[in-house]
Structure 1
Amino acid sequence: MLAFVAAVLFVIAFVINATETSTETVFSPTSLMLAGLAFLAVHSAGVGSGWSSRGGGRGRRR
């Protein structure tokens, strides 16, 4: 899920850069790219990867 957020941020940054839209400092293509890279780093670290806290396969096996 975090990789999808990063991809959306990269697309927004690309569109802003390609159209040369004047934006505020917070939404510059560079800041959006850095936010996207941060989301990719968190995704690569395994956060939000779908692990469940119920133990998954630790139940009784037949």
Structure 2
Amino acid sequence: MFALIAAVLFLLALVFDIAGVALGGVVTVGTLTTAGLLCVALHLMGLGASWSPLKR
């Protein structure tokens, strides 16, 4: 799930960068990229995984 969120954030950052758009002083290309990297890190940690191994 976090990987999908990261992909959407990176897509928004790319579109905003190409179009030269910034939504105020808070949401910029840098903040979207940082949020995307955070989601990738959480995904690599194993959070948000839709499966779990069988415990015996």
Same fold (TM over 0.5): yes
1:27 alignment partner in structure 2: 27
Q: Within 2, Cα distance between the matches of 1:17 and 1:46?
A: 30
Could you state the TM-score of these two structures normalised by the residue count of structure 2?
Answer: 0.84
| 1:19 CA displacement | 0.3
Higher helix proportion (structure 1 or 2): 2
- Unaligned ranges ≥5, structure 2: none
Which 4+ stretches in 1 moved above 4 angstroms? Answer: none
For 2:42, the equivalent position in structure 1 comes to: 42
TM-score by length of 1: 0.77
Cα deviation, 1:12-50, whole Å, max 9, x if unaligned, reads 011111000132122100000000000000000011112
Gaps of 5+ in 1: none
CA distance in 2, matches of 1:32, 1:4: 14
Aligned residues: 56
Note the aligned Cα RMSD (angstroms). 1.7
